[in-house]
Chains A and B, each alone.
Chain A
């Protein structure tokens, strides 16, 4: 029998395709249309921290160096009030086999695919994750397909993504390249159905468990090097897995006082599914176009229940501008001798400002770097920006306009962060939860789940749901 390959027919089969391709039965964790057992899912479907460390050890993932940025710290102290300017450390995740922390995320999925007898793995990603899956698959002898959104309708590719595609090919993966659009998911489903490969989604319990080692390791390293816990861990935030996994790892290390601060590049105003806006972005990841929607509705991902749930873990969420990130990328190369990719330095831009809020004896950790190369490099990305009509100049980064103007700071004292109101995101999350499930009446258990899932009080949840006209239980 030939299956109907039309868009509507394939989308209608998505649940059965996913169930086979994920090897996880999510229904056993469902509690109601709204609530599910998150910790139960992480425990049962994932692997323990000890198992993950062993799996990652087999393929050379993790145990990356934690480097103190002494010159960057000295510069921050020159700009900070007296007694302020925390020590800045960076976790050099570029030292992983494929050049980013995404190897941690891929390692467990690919291990699992091998163990379960899948002939290969597929990942839908335009980011470093593709190279990570391809590299891990190469090591474990599995086939690999990476599906990327690369081009606008003119066929002009984003240089960062073109480079990531090249890297996937270098590891022996097949790369399926698409023009702009969320229907990438349809192609992805077709490929899963055709090949019978495992969906190495970024958002399974495997992927998130893989990142926990990053938080755990950095806590151990900071303690060893400084004799104390970090005051803040600054995390580039896009789909939410980096924040979630790192924060969970910190907790497992008993590092409970470190503030988890998410950072995204501000790309507000640019539509992520717009053909015209696609190449007006000078960053393709680590930006608000992923960071905000994935915080306010994690279950938009390619799995029934997303294991990355950033609102549970964010103590603070800030944005920086594209120009500030290019500036600190230059700073890192010129003052510390570390040439790394711009997107991974998003959290460094924020940490430079946040260090100036903290005391000199405190520690702030930038928890990743990524590899750099043709295409994913400040000169490549700024040349591309200019060629697409974006103005580039030195000045005050507050004059930055996403998609129109990139302002490289004139002075390091101009680097700053803009706080995102987490309560605003919580309200959006609750509105999305109600709208997307169509639930009109909730139980006490639902309220408890929602409160936990967006890290708010039950009173806050009740208040918001009442405003949305949802029928509430009498108490609780």
Chain B
């Protein structure tokens, strides 16, 4: 979805610290990239992806940033089957209870 309307559940992004202004103790690779922040909430006004937008979070805080997603999705999952794990159960049952238990 490229555009959100007032009241939509959205996610915004903002730069907290740009490259070069990071804390002195961070390593070089981190120093070279910005510290950014993502927050979700209800959009206060119609806005397109990439535009500045103000949201109200679930606890009522108002936050402004670049609109990056409307109806942001959880995309984490259980991953793909891992062959290196699949054989462990039968191996252990065989060790404990013999061949029959593992079949």
Q: Which residues of A approach B to under 8 Å, CB–CB?
A: 7, 71, 74-75, 78, 120, 143-145, 150-151, 153, 157, 159, 162-163, 166, 169, 172-183, 186-187, 194-195, 271, 273-276, 326-327, 330-331, 333-335, 374-375, 377-384, 392-394, 408, 412
Q: A144-B59, A178-B36, A178-B37 are in contact. Are A408 and B85 (CB under 8 A)?
A: yes
**Those of B58-96 within 8 Å (CB) of chain A:** 58-61, 74-82, 84-85, 88-89, 92-93, 95-96
- Distance of A177 Cα from B35 Cα, bound (Å): 11
Instruction: Specify which of B76, B93, B95 is in contact with A375 (CB 8 Å cutoff).
Output: B76
Q: Is the CB of B84 within 8 A of A181?
A: no
| Nearest-CB residue, chain B, relative to A145 | B59
- Distance of A427 Cα from B46 Cα, bound (Å): 59
Instruction: Specify which of B36, B41, B61, B81 is in contact with A179 (CB 8 Å cutoff).
Output: B36
Nearest CB of chain A from residue B82's CB, rounded to whole Å: 5
Q: Is the CB of A75 within 8 A of B96?
A: yes
| Nearest-CB residue, chain A, relative to B16 | A187
B29 within 8 A of A: yes
Q: Is the CB of B16 within 8 A of A186?
A: yes
Q: Is the CB of A392 within 8 A of B82?
A: yes
B57 within 8 A of A: yes
- Distance of A176 Cα from B12 Cα, bound (Å): 10
- Distance of A187 Cα from B15 Cα, bound (Å): 11
| Nearest-CB residue, chain A, relative to B21 | A7
Instruction: Specify which of B35, B61, B96 is in contact with A74 (CB 8 Å cutoff).
Output: B96
Q: 24 pairs across A/B with beta carbons < 8 Å?
A: A7-B21, A74-B96, A120-B59, A145-B61, A153-B34, A157-B76, A159-B77, A166-B76, A172-B59, A174-B58, A176-B39, A181-B26, A181-B30, A182-B25, A195-B61, A330-B89, A335-B93, A374-B74, A375-B76, A378-B82, A379-B80, A379-B81, A380-B77, A382-B85
| Nearest-CB residue, chain A, relative to B58 | A174
What 1/0 flags go to B9-36 for Cβ under 8 Å of A?
A: 0000000110001110111011011111
- Distance of A179 Cα from B89 Cα, bound (Å): 37
Interface SS of B by simple majority: loop
Instruction: Specify which of B38, B39, B58, B79 is in contact with A383 (CB 8 Å cutoff).
Output: B79
Q: Is the CB of A412 within 8 A of B95?
A: yes
| Nearest-CB residue, chain B, relative to A6 | B21
> Contacts of B40 on A, CB cut-off 8 Å?
169, 174-175
Q: A157-B76, A174-B61 are in contact. Are A275 and B33 (CB under 8 A)?
A: yes
Q: Is the CB of B22 within 8 A of A183?
A: yes
- Distance of A335 Cα from B21 Cα, bound (Å): 52
> Contacts of B27 on A, CB cut-off 8 Å?
271, 273-275
4 more contacts with CB within 8 A, not counting A177-B38, A186-B17, A379-B85, are A75-B92, A162-B75, A393-B84, A412-B95
> Contacts of A381 on B, CB cut-off 8 Å?
79
Q: A181-B23, A394-B84 are in contact. Are A382 and B35 (CB under 8 A)?
A: no
> Contacts of B81 on A, CB cut-off 8 Å?
379
> Contacts of B77 on A, CB cut-off 8 Å?
159, 374-375, 380
- Distance of A65 Cα from B75 Cα, bound (Å): 33
Nearest CB of chain A from residue B86's CB, rounded to whole Å: 9
> Contacts of A153 on B, CB cut-off 8 Å?
33-34
Q: A173-B58, A382-B79 are in contact. Are A180 and B92 (CB under 8 A)?
A: no
Q: Is the CB of B96 within 8 A of A177?
A: no
- Distance of A412 Cα from B96 Cα, bound (Å): 12
> Contacts of B85 on A, CB cut-off 8 Å?
326, 330, 378-379, 382, 408
Instruction: Specify which of A169, A181, A335 is in contact with B35 (CB 8 Å cutoff).
Output: A181
| Nearest-CB residue, chain B, relative to A165 | B74
